[in-house]
Structure 1
Amino acid sequence: MINIQQDGKGQPYIQWEQAPGGWKRAWIQTKDGDGDWAGTKRYLNIVRTATADGGPSGNATDFPIFSELPDEQILEAFVAAVCAVTGCKIP
């Protein structure tokens, strides 16, 4: 089972070591107004982090979520797929 945490805004996220010393964070964000550019209200974000427990470092990329699957299921599927494609161990 992949460890899903919650950030200070209550958003679920997974953080894992993609390569030695290369950390990534994926999280689900809710957006309203102009920030909701795809009209879905939910977005999967991915960004690098400097450390295992560090916050986002750099510019995140967001993907609109058109599915009604729970946030945790989307995160687990995304991280598992990235790890499978790149050969990284699933955290």
Structure 2
Amino acid sequence: MKTRLLHKILSPAWIAAIIAAGLLLFLGYEALTWPDVSALKTRNPKTTAFIELYKQKQKKSGKKAHFSWKWVPYDEISPELKRAVLVAE
């Protein structure tokens, strides 16, 4: 009896179903936890994780964090820099 159950569980159809279920669970998790970046299309972020890390390091070393940035339109960014960012990802 146990061997029939084991053969049934280990059948290719069951293995495929388990893999498919795992894939669906993974994709569902990814869809639910993926960050929403649509706001970045119209608004610049007030801060970033890198800026916050820089502030934290400066504070720990007893220095004041000074930084500034200037937002530029996407069309003004050189194609080489865009490509470099994609490659670095």
Tell me which interval the TM-score lies in, with the shorter structure as reference length: under 0.3
Relative to total residues, which structure has the larger helix share, 1 or 2? 2
Q: TM-score, normalised by structure 2?
A: 0.23
User: More strand by proportion, 1 or 2?
Assistant: 1
TM-score, length of structure 1 as denominator length = 0.23
